[in-house]
A and B are shown apart, each in its own frame.
Chain A
Amino acid sequence: NAGVTQTPKFRVLKTGQSMTLLCAQDMNHEYMYWYRQDPGMGLRLIHYSVGEGTTAKGEVPDGYNVSRLKKQNFLLGLESAAPSQTSVYFCASSYSPEMGTNEKLFFGSGTQLSVL
């Protein structure tokens, strides 16, 4: 069981370049999340989705876009990368309706992104 898989694991971009981070989960979870982790700031929610075809803004959505065309995939896009977006990005998923609770997030192993 793979759980939550993120690709790529590392990426270096130049300012102004674009890229897409892919998150895939095989647990039939309804909810998916994108967080960024920065030193001294913990994890901050960028965007999230409560089901296929839905997205919502989190705490720090500016400069990012997301899409959830398929239930198992959640894509995070940077249209014009900036040095301030240098961070470690984590995808997470949760909530199976058959369990009826939403008490545990399952995390991917992260993407280290550097914007020069």
Chain B
Amino acid sequence: AQSVTQLGSHVSVSEGALVLLRCNYSSSVPPYLFWYVQYPNQGLQLLLKYTTGATLVKGINGFEAEFKKSETSFHLTKPSAHMSDAAEYFCAVRRGFQKLVFGTGTRLLVSP
């Protein structure tokens, strides 16, 4: 069954530094992969998704992720962190047509 593993429950960066949040997937079929973001006291919002085609996917707020089949990875990056990026980030994989399975989340802390 499809699943995802997020490495690191917390990641701390300085404002302006590179953001790298790691996600590895397990899937016996070509996966549909997603990154969602949760700001404090809010529901989750879709950042970006990979379904088919181009392996480098660009999302909102300057984030992007690259699907690497050889490494079974879908890491999320942003060249320069902003204070407003502080949030919790969830990687997810679609299981069947109806369901998403989420990772355990990574909290991004951004310091001035």
Question: B105 near A45 (CB under 8 angstroms)?
Answer: no
- Mark out the residues of chain B between 79 and 94 whose CB falls within 8 Å of any chain A CB in the assembled complex: 90, 94
Q: Does A98 contact B (CB under 8 A)?
A: no
Q: Which of B44, B51, B97 gathers the greatest number of chain A CB atoms within 10 Å?
A: B44
Q: Which residues of B contact A42 (CB under 8 A)?
A: 90, 102-105
Question: Which of chain A's residues has its CB closest to B106's CB?
Answer: A42
Q: CA separation between A2 and B98, bound complex, in Å?
A: 23
- Check A4/B51 contact, CB under 8 A, given A40-B104, A43-B102, A45-B99: no
Q: Which residues of A contact B101 (CB under 8 A)?
A: 45
Q: Does B72 contact A (CB under 8 A)?
A: no
Question: B44 near A90 (CB under 8 angstroms)?
Answer: yes
Question: B105 near A105 (CB under 8 angstroms)?
Answer: no
Question: A41 near B104 (CB under 8 angstroms)?
Answer: yes
Question: A105 near B46 (CB under 8 angstroms)?
Answer: yes
Q: Does A61 contact B (CB under 8 A)?
A: no
Question: Lowest 5 CB-CB distances: which A-B pairs, in order?
Answer: A107-B43, A42-B104, A43-B102, A42-B102, A107-B44
